[in-house]
Amino acid sequence: MPRISRFYWRLAVLYGVSGLTLGTFMGATQDFTLTTIHVHLGLLGWFPMAVYALFFGAVPAAAEGRLAWAQFGLANAGLVALLGGVALIVTGGTQVGEVAAPGSLLSLASMLCFALIVLRHTGSAAQR
């Protein structure tokens, strides 16, 4: 298994456990203020990180090079920044757009990098 897959699996599990723990806490306290954080931990944390881990594990050649690691950095920086920005929004913090918007853009850049990696390594030229 490529090193990047191991890192993605570890982070996927961390984000998944964090999201489920937060969801359990919200349910127990009946305080759903942080629902958006809970959802983003699953939809930008657990799920895509697990998909990335599976892909890089199935196509080890795609894990080689700087683009895969750049995508890894963008995905995680984007998620952390987005979660921080959303947390500020739902708790009434100030200057929220300065954190959430860049986090969203980093997450988008990560997905675009991943799309490029997938296209490079699954196209007809890659299958020859």
Per-residue pLDDT of 20-36, as tens digits, reads: 999 999 999 999 999 99
Look at residue 95 in the predicted model and tell me its pLDDT: 61
Domain contains 72: yes
Domain contains 127: no
Per-residue pLDDT of 87-105, as tens digits, reads: 888 887 766 667 788 999 9
pLDDT confidence bin for 118, thresholds 50/70/90: very high
**pTM of the full structure:** 0.89
Look at residue 87 in the predicted model and tell me its pLDDT: 87
Domain contains 60: yes
What is the extent of the structural domain holding 104? 3-121
Look at residue 50 in the predicted model and tell me its pLDDT: 98
Is pLDDT above 60 for 43? Answer: yes
Residue 99 contacts residue 81 (beta carbons within 8 Å):
yes
pLDDT-above-70 percentage for the chain = 93
What letter represents residue 63's amino acid?
A: A
Report the pLDDT averaged over residues 79-94: 86
110-117 contacts, C-beta under 8 A, 24 or more apart: 110/71, 110/74, 110/75, 110/78, 111/48, 113/67, 113/70, 113/71, 113/74, 114/52, 114/55, 114/71, 114/75, 116/67, 117/62, 117/67, 117/68, 117/71
